[in-house]
Copies of this chain bind each other. A is one copy, B any other.
Amino acid sequence: MNYLVAQPLPEPDRSLRSDPASRTNSQPPHVVIVGAGFGGLSAATALAGAPVRVTVIDERNYHLFQPLLYQVATAGLSPADIAAPIRGILSRQKNARVLLGRVTGVDAVRRVVLLADREVSFDALIIATGARHAYFGHDEWSAFAPGLKNIDDATKLRRKILTAFERAEDETDLVERARLMTFIVAGGGATGVEMAGAIAELAKVAIARDFRAIDTTMSRIILIEAGPRLLPAFPEALSAAAKSSLEKLGVEVRLGQTVTECDTSGVMLGEEKIAGGTTIWAAGVMASPAAQWLWAEHDRAGRVIVEADLSAPGYPNIFVIGDTALARDRSGAALPGIASVAKQEGRYVARLLQSRFAGKADPPPFRYRDSGTLATIGRGSAVADFGWMKLKGRLAWIVWSLAHIYFLIGFRSRLVVAMDWLWSYITFERGARLITSGDTER
């Protein structure tokens, strides 16, 4: 176990070549991976069987299938359907161990990762800590407009949404009732579009028969996007399809508008006040503070601008991948913050490390192979862009469903989610409508 304790090397040596003399003992080299999201976990599993020791550090004990998190927030799926314990995923990988803890910094010279109560030394480090919500200098909005990044965010949001209907049912003032039944989603990217569609479905179908005093189908769902169109990462035709699908579900789509103020009563869009009971923030993300740890150059969203081999400039043995990194494709465009980019980056770094430790030449620079982008808009409708083919409507939804089920970790999750979807597709039910923890007494 003593490899968890910092062992300052006699001479800070930034080269990564496998040089037994540079290590104080004969143990295989130690690869530390911070973050067990898509990027970190794909790097870890790609190192299975390699002659290295792998330590995965995460502050949570589960890997999350983030693309379906909005389904937990809108009571369609249970947390365990889309989250798997990291230890379980790596239990059969003999060279990997898992450490539950929060990383607070990196000492690149001494080659140690800093945690609250200890240090972990590394021969190579992969930083895959993802991103969190960004409120563009208005962090005080986070109390009124929560975002959606982990299971706790999702169950809190589920509670907020379901409690809003409970309070509306119980409210006799018609103006206040209408406010409680107004849901504002800030941000028209994939998360915002999926949230807005799912809330509309929840309100207009799933719970339509549950209440007596209110008509939940009269709920107002407003999606606000600062740019000129929804889903800016997709081709324009699909953006238009998404907009019209959402409008068919009864969602008000506001393009070219920006939230300028936000509190418990709703939001301001410039001069216009929108009274709302629930605001959800899907408007921006900020990379986790890896750039500060490394004193590295970063873009406005805090992403570390990495080298062609995904290493941090000046540190050939420290790699930054996924939403924490700004990597570029051959045209020089920044790669999007999506799962498939993070996974390919993780596998690339694992391959590169294996070459280096074996004393072989580096593989060619990282290149992203685009396998398509998908977003769903409520029940039975989606948009898909595979480059060579663009889909919308029901067929895109079927592709979306199959792809998401396929990429879920674990056969059991795949079965459960497939069954849950089939079930709610047939019955319109959303089974996970539980208000848990927090007071429901108002």
Is the pair B210, A434 in contact by a Cβ cutoff of 8 Å? no
Q: Are A434 and B62 CB-contacts (below 8 A) given A100-B440, A170-B100, A416-B416?
A: yes
From B60, B117, B166, give the contact of A61 (CB < 8 A): B166
Q: How near does chain B come to A201, taking the closest CB pair, in angstroms?
A: 15
Is the pair A152, B437 in contact by a Cβ cutoff of 8 Å? yes
B-binding segment of A77-85, A217-225, A259-267, A297-305:
A77-85
Is the pair B416, A61 in contact by a Cβ cutoff of 8 Å? no
Q: How far is the CA of A305 from the CA of B226 in the complex (A)?
A: 65
Whether, in the assembled complex, A329 has its beta carbon less than 8 Å from a beta carbon of chain B, the answer is no
Is the pair B423, A412 in contact by a Cβ cutoff of 8 Å? yes
Bitwise, A428-440 to B at CB < 8 A (1) or not (0) is 0101111111001
Q: How far is the CA of A207 from the CA of B91 in the complex (A)?
A: 8
Q: How near does chain B come to A210, taking the closest CB pair, in angstroms?
A: 4
Whether, in the assembled complex, A209 has its beta carbon less than 8 Å from a beta carbon of chain B, the answer is yes
Whether, in the assembled complex, A172 has its beta carbon less than 8 Å from a beta carbon of chain B, the answer is yes
User: Which label, helix, strand, loop or mixed, suits the secondary structure of the A interface?
Assistant: loop
Is the pair B87, A432 in contact by a Cβ cutoff of 8 Å? no
Q: How far is the CA of A279 from the CA of B61 in the complex (A)?
A: 22
Q: Which residue on chain B has the smallest CB distance to residue A117?
A: B442
Q: Are A91 and B435 CB-contacts (below 8 A) given A59-B441, A99-B170, A170-B99?
A: no
Whether, in the assembled complex, A356 has its beta carbon less than 8 Å from a beta carbon of chain B, the answer is no
Q: Which residue on chain B has the smallest CB distance to residue A424?
A: B412
Chain A interface residue count: which class? 35 or more
Is the pair B62, A435 in contact by a Cβ cutoff of 8 Å? yes
Is the pair B78, A441 in contact by a Cβ cutoff of 8 Å? no
Hey, which chain B residues are within 8 Å of A210, CB to CB?
85, 87-88, 91, 98
Q: Which residue on chain B has the smallest CB distance to residue A210?
A: B87
Number of copies: 2
Whether, in the assembled complex, A14 has its beta carbon less than 8 Å from a beta carbon of chain B, the answer is no
Is the pair B61, A116 in contact by a Cβ cutoff of 8 Å? no
Q: Which residue on chain B has the smallest CB distance to residue A435?
A: B61
A residues 54-109 in Cβ contact with B at 8 Å: 59-62, 78-81, 83-85, 87-88, 91-92, 97-102
Whether, in the assembled complex, A313 has its beta carbon less than 8 Å from a beta carbon of chain B, the answer is no
Whether, in the assembled complex, A227 has its beta carbon less than 8 Å from a beta carbon of chain B, the answer is no
Bitwise, A146-182 to B at CB < 8 A (1) or not (0) is 0000011001000000100010001010000000000
Hey, which chain B residues are within 8 Å of A333, CB to CB?
none
Q: How far is the CA of A364 from the CA of B61 in the complex (A)?
A: 56
Q: How far is the CA of A253 from the CA of B321 in the complex (A)?
A: 51
Whether, in the assembled complex, A213 has its beta carbon less than 8 Å from a beta carbon of chain B, the answer is yes
Q: Are A436 and B155 CB-contacts (below 8 A) given A412-B429, A431-B410?
A: yes
Hey, which chain B residues are within 8 Å of A416, CB to CB?
416, 419-420
Q: How far is the CA of A91 from the CA of B413 in the complex (A)?
A: 29
Is the pair A80, B434 in contact by a Cβ cutoff of 8 Å? yes
Q: How near does chain B come to A171, taking the closest CB pair, in angstroms?
A: 10
From B420, B434, B437, B440, give the contact of A85 (CB < 8 A): B434
Is the pair B432, A80 in contact by a Cβ cutoff of 8 Å? yes
Whether, in the assembled complex, A330 has its beta carbon less than 8 Å from a beta carbon of chain B, the answer is no
Hey, which chain B residues are within 8 Å of A431, CB to CB?
80, 84, 410, 412-413
Is the pair A79, B434 in contact by a Cβ cutoff of 8 Å? yes
Q: Are A60 and B440 CB-contacts (below 8 A) given A81-B78, A87-B207, A423-B412?
A: yes
A residues 189-240 in Cβ contact with B at 8 Å: 207, 209-213
Q: Which residue on chain B has the smallest CB distance to residue A87?
A: B210
Is the pair A59, B440 in contact by a Cβ cutoff of 8 Å? yes
Whether, in the assembled complex, A1 has its beta carbon less than 8 Å from a beta carbon of chain B, the answer is yes
Q: Which residue on chain B has the smallest CB distance to residue A100?
A: B166
Whether, in the assembled complex, A415 has its beta carbon less than 8 Å from a beta carbon of chain B, the answer is yes
Hey, which chain B residues are within 8 Å of A92, CB to CB?
209
Bitwise, A100-124 to B at CB < 8 A (1) or not (0) is 1110000000000000110000000
A80-B431, A91-B210, A416-B419 are known; give 6 further A-B pairs, CB within 8 A. A59-B440, A60-B435, A61-B162, A62-B434, A79-B432, A100-B170
Top 6 nearest A-B pairs by Cβ distance? Answer: A87-B210, A80-B432, A78-B78, A91-B209, A85-B433, A97-B212
Q: List 5 A-B contacts (CB under 8 A).
A: A60-B435, A61-B435, A78-B80, A79-B434, A412-B423
